[in-house]
Amino acid sequence: MEIKVPPVGESVFEAVIGKWHKASGDFVRKDELLLELETDKINLEIQAEADGILTIAAQPGETVQIGAVIGTIDESAQAPAAAKKETEEKTPPPTKSESPVNPAAAKLAREKGIDLSTISGTGKEGRITLEDVQRAPETPAPAKAEPPAPHPQATATPEQPKTKPDADARITRQPMTPIRKKIAERLLSVRQQTAMLTTFNEADMSRVLALRQKHRDHFQK
């Protein structure tokens, strides 16, 4: 079975291999996550469509076209013994600490410092009841260790001056993802193609003010 780059939109013609979650030669299960694809519009995850041995044909960071084959799954291959053992392994039985506990019993156990894993529940389906906690012996709280006394001959060492961290050591350079690259291109094109200006309009209002002063009293009456 071939693993192809699916179509994600009319204007998307290529994608970048983001990260493979499986290595070449691994046995994969159906619907298991294989890799992440990055485009200039969305990022999507590719799942396995069948069980088999994975063979990778495109490495992370490689640009591939829509519909290109980036890997294959050999469906005729048998699952290794480790994978069979993992799928056939049964869920272990619950331990005492996983037994159901009555809320009132859990509260009383916290107040008395009792470990619930040491109690056998007598309720239905092994539930630990309030009576079980009341009959259980209290666990003594461990004694707090006192901090050691300072040595009398110990002298305070002068504080070392803090060195300024190297700014270059904290800077990492990574290639931009297709989405970030497309956003940067759009922002730059808007700044270069849009007229960035401010318009001022002036008008002589002296004659309007003169008419207002002339007819002010008549207008109020």
**DSSP three-state, residue 72:** strand
> What pLDDT shows up at residue 138?
65
DSSP letter (8 states) at residue 186: H
For 35, 151, 158, 159, 160, the CA distances from 155, given in Å and listed in that order, are 59, 9, 9, 12, 15
DSSP letter (8 states) at residue 139: P
DSSP letter (8 states) at residue 12: -
Phi, psi dihedrals of residue 70, rounded to the nearest 5°: -110, 0
Listed as own residue / partner, the contacts of 6-12 with beta carbons closer than 8 Å and 24 or more positions apart are 6/44, 6/46, 6/66, 7/66, 7/67, 8/39, 8/41, 8/42, 8/44, 8/66, 9/39, 9/41, 9/42, 11/41, 12/39, 12/40, 12/41, 12/66
> What pLDDT shows up at residue 163?
59
> What pLDDT shows up at residue 73?
93
Per-residue pLDDT of the chain (221 residues; tens, 9 = 90+): 999 999 988 888 888 898 899 999 999 999 999 999 988 888 888 999 999 999 999 998 899 999 999 999 998 887 776 655 665 554 555 454 456 777 777 778 888 888 877 777 777 667 788 788 888 776 554 555 566 665 555 455 555 555 566 667 788 888 887 888 888 888 898 888 887 788 899 999 999 999 999 999 998 88
**CA separation for the pair 23, 60 (Å, rounded):** 11
**DSSP three-state, residue 80:** coil
**DSSP three-state, residue 2:** strand
Beta strands in the chain (DSSP E): 2-4, 14-20, 27-28, 33-38, 43-47, 52-56, 63-65, 69-74
> What pLDDT shows up at residue 48?
92
52-56, strands of its sheet edge to edge: 2-4, 69-74, 52-56, 27-28
> What pLDDT shows up at residue 212?
92
> What pLDDT shows up at residue 215?
92
**pTM over the 0.75 mark:** no
